Structure 1
Amino acid sequence: MLAGRPDVEPAPGASRAFWARHPRLGTGVVVGFCLVAGAGVDLLRWGPGQPDWWLLAADTIAALSLIWRRREPWAVLAVVVAGDALTGGVMVAPYAVAMYSLAAHRSLHSATVGTVGSLAVLGAETIHRSGRDGLGWFLFFYGVTVVASVLIGANVAARRRYVGALLDRAARLAREKEQEGLLAAARERARIAHDLHDIVAHNLTIMVRLADGATAVADSDPQRSRRAVQRAADLGREAMKDMRRLLGVLHDGSPDVPGDLETLIETFRIAGLPVTVRRHGPGPRSLGLQRVVFRSVQEALTNALRYAEEPTEVLVDLDYSGDPIRITVLDDGHGAGPAPSVGSEQGLNALRERAALYGGTVEAGREASGWAVRVTLPHPTEETDD
């Protein structure tokens, strides 16, 4: 069995598939064979002048009873055994089919009970007619027949149960897959809502700050004012592009590509935030983790831009060298006084949910040197890597 995959039942052969599609034809072949093996052989043996009509009728009834062997195997076995016992004939072919049907369409326990009961009746009839001398021949001949028939029937029944279990499992897996699809759709809706929050709230925050700064220095430093206005316009265009990309994901399922971290940090610097960046080790190759890192830095820097009180440094520490990955954004804009409002915390809640999808955690709060946002993310495995 392959790892992670169930054993797969091989496709039925052409012969088995043909008989499965034509059950009535199969029944006709079985009944016809038993008629030839019983009544036909008797006619050839006796000749047309001296047939035993009683035995011929019993052979015919036993063969025709096999039509109901699937629905009523017990009744068919009773008819065959009664005909054999009453006429003293040798109905081996109908008896073999009857025992096979009992094992295949009922259970191994039923086949065992049928074997013991039928052999007891037929054995008693053999002793009555032939004495103990015929018992050995009877046990060998009928014993081999019944053992072979029951084993084949039990094998067919086991195979049928196995295929049924596979079909049940496939149906259960299909239901589970459908449920997983619904859960995935719900997670995707939540992710899109988070992305909308990131695009609108974060970019508008920076654009407002840039516009305020441009207004403040419009008279004293027109060139700096123009740069701020230009950057605000560029940021607006980037936000529109992000919105179109996000709507494109909704329409065609294209992958969500992480943003450019360098451009993001430079935008906050232009907005007046003194950002310092430290990196340790190569960044993650997983697109999913890259998105989490980008959104973590974006959320933390947006909060610093909104709420930090005249920070002199905002440190972005990206430590990719260990396990877990650690992202820390620390500003020194909060002193000993009470912390200002941090809004609805929707951004931080969304960030916690993003990190949780990859087994990570998010901590945010005041520390001795200021306000810190700390994100830890396990290194990706084959199962979590995008």
Structure 2
Amino acid sequence: MTELRHVLRAGRPGWGTAIVVAFCLLSGLDTDMLVDWAPTGEFWWGLAVNTVLSLALFWGRAYPWPVLALVVVGDALSVQTQAVVYAVAMYFLAANRPLRQVSAGAAGSLAVLGAETFLRSGRDDFGIFLAYYGTAVIGAVLIGANVAIRRRYVQALVDRAAQLAREKEQEGQLAAARERARIAHDLHDIVAHNLTIMVRLADGATAVADSDPQRSRRAVERAADLGREAMKDMRRLLGVLHDGSPDSGGDLESMVATFRIAGLPVTLRRRGLDPVSPGLQRVIFRIVQEGLTNALRYAEHPSEVLVDLDYTGPILIVITDDGRGTTPAPSVGSEQGLNAMRERAALYGGTVEAGRRPVGWSVRVTLPHPTEETS
């Protein structure tokens, strides 16, 4: 019973197929015998064959080859013509199988039925058979092939839409991964850099608390202001997460002033016009911030930390110090800041070079000249 239910479901007969089957049943009736009501054994035999073949069309879509073979055998055994049922069977074959199989099915079935007609009726009915069945085959194959082509076209559109949906999903996942990396870098910039300066300010305030209370108070106030600025940056970053809008670059002058208060002798030098791209401004701001933070951490008693920004050609960012420190401090971590520099520069096709100088340390970042596309 399970196998029978599977076979019945495979045919998937619908109202259209039911109408076609009903038409085939009616077309196989001998109208003359019905009018005179003089049924013979041939009439009942033809009616039985026509009924079986017509009902077999319910499975024509799922099993076109077996149905066509059954129709050909039944047509050969029946005195009455089964041209309509045969045409429908050929349609199912043309609509559900490749053209090579359709050609083989049409040629083979016509050869069998033509031989049977010639042997039974001779040449008299053979020409009528060719005209009648040939027209049925041509019409059925053309309609079936057109349906198959349209079905394949629709399936191709569905597959293409599914592929585009998968590609869009993959692009969304890649964009989310890039955004997570950017957020991680920004969190590192906000937390690590600001905390570094706040710790330095607190240490300085403690050192001069007795000898210079006024200076100690200013350092503590500046550390508090820096903490509030860090909280504001964190809120802005969380706002970016909610609305998806990119944050703009920070104020270089204000950042440099903060590092000067922390005790770093920073000199800022610019040449050329600042880039107009907010994304590029943010990259430059974060690179300078990272370079100055590293100098604050590792450079011992530098007399000058130079930040040289050259916008006249390809953007050149050079951060140098003349400190004596060469041994990393305990808070180095895993060079995440330098890696963040490289990744940010790589977004715009740039490069980062960092290393020791004869005295001090140097960071050199090169970014291609911004164009309308990269902006």
TM-score, normalised relative to structure 2: 0.80
308, 327, 343: which one aligns with 1:340: 327
Please give the alpha-carbon distance, in whole angstroms, between the structure 2 residues aligned to 1:142 and 1:381: 71
Shift, 1:193, TM fit:
3.2
Please give the alpha-carbon distance, in whole angstroms, between the structure 1 residues aligned to 2:33 and 2:103: 34
Q: Share of identical aligned residues, percent?
A: 67
298, 312, 322: which one aligns with 1:307: 298
Q: Is 1:104 aligned with 2:95?
A: yes
Q: Is 1:277 aligned with 2:258?
A: no
Change (3 A) 1:120 1:275: same
Name the residue aligned to 1:4: none
Change (3 A) 1:166 1:217: same
Any idea what the Cα deviations from partners look like across 1:30-69, whole Å, max 9, x if unmatched?
A: 1112223332xx3268623345333333333322221121
- Partner amino acid, structure 2, of 1:47: V
Any idea what the Cα deviations from partners look like across 1:177-220, whole Å, max 9, x if unmatched?
A: 55555555444444333333222221122223334445566677
- Partner amino acid, structure 2, of 1:283: P
TM-score, normalised relative to structure 1: 0.78
Q: Is 1:363 aligned with 2:350?
A: no
Please give the alpha-carbon distance, in whole angstroms, between the structure 2 residues aligned to 1:355 and 1:186: 17
Any idea what the Cα deviations from partners look like across 1:97-142, whole Å, max 9, x if unmatched?
A: 1011112223323212211110101221232244345444433432
337, 343, 346: which one aligns with 1:353: 343
Are the equivalent residues in 2 in contact too, given 1:217–1:224 (CA < 8 A)? yes
Are the equivalent residues in 2 in contact too, given 1:63–1:94 (CA < 8 A)? yes
Name the residue aligned to 1:123: 114
Please give the alpha-carbon distance, in whole angstroms, between the structure 2 residues aligned to 1:145 and 1:360: 71
- Partner amino acid, structure 2, of 1:238: E
SS at match of 2:23: helix
- Partner amino acid, structure 2, of 1:302: T
Any idea what the Cα deviations from partners look like across 1:72-103, whole Å, max 9, x if unmatched?
A: 22222123222322334333321121011112
- Partner amino acid, structure 2, of 1:277: R
Q: Is 1:202 aligned with 2:186?
A: no
Are the equivalent residues in 2 in contact too, given 1:276–1:313 (CA < 8 A)? no
Q: Is 1:53 aligned with 2:44?
A: yes
Shift, 1:283, TM fit:
1.1
Are the equivalent residues in 2 in contact too, given 1:76–1:98 (CA < 8 A)? yes
Any idea what the Cα deviations from partners look like across 1:5-47, whole Å, max 9, x if unmatched?
A: xxxxxxxxxxxxxxxxx952111111112223332xx326862
Structure 1 residue runs of 5 or longer lacking an equivalent are 1-21
Of 138-147 and 161-170, more deviation after overlay is shown by: 161-170
Are the equivalent residues in 1 in contact too, given 2:65–2:93 (CA < 8 A)? yes
Change (3 A) 1:53 1:177: same
What does 1:1-386 align with in structure 2 at a 5 Å threshold? 23-39=13-29, 42-43=30-31, 47-51=35-39, 52-132=43-123, 134-175=125-166, 177-178=168-169, 181-214=172-205, 225-249=216-240, 252=242, 254-258=244-248, 259-272=250-263, 273-287=265-279, 289-323=280-314, 325-333=315-323, 339-341=326-328, 343-344=332-333, 345-367=335-357, 370-378=360-368
Please give the alpha-carbon distance, in whole angstroms, between the structure 2 residues aligned to 1:79 and 1:384: 69
Change (3 A) 1:92 1:382: farther
Please give the alpha-carbon distance, in whole angstroms, between the structure 2 residues aligned to 1:121 and 1:205: 94
Please give the alpha-carbon distance, in whole angstroms, between the structure 2 residues aligned to 1:134 and 1:189: 81
SS at match of 1:362: strand
Are the equivalent residues in 1 in contact too, given 2:237–2:247 (CA < 8 A)? no
- Partner amino acid, structure 2, of 1:260: D
Please give the alpha-carbon distance, in whole angstroms, between the structure 1 residues aligned to 2:373 and 2:133: 59
Name the residue aligned to 2:7: none
- Give the aligned length: 356
Of 369-378 and 76-85, more deviation after overlay is shown by: 369-378
RMSD of aligned alpha carbons: 3.3
Of 74-83 and 154-163, more deviation after overlay is shown by: 154-163
Are the equivalent residues in 2 in contact too, given 1:279–1:318 (CA < 8 A)? yes
Shift, 1:314, TM fit:
2.8
Structure 2 residue runs of 5 or longer lacking an equivalent are 1-11
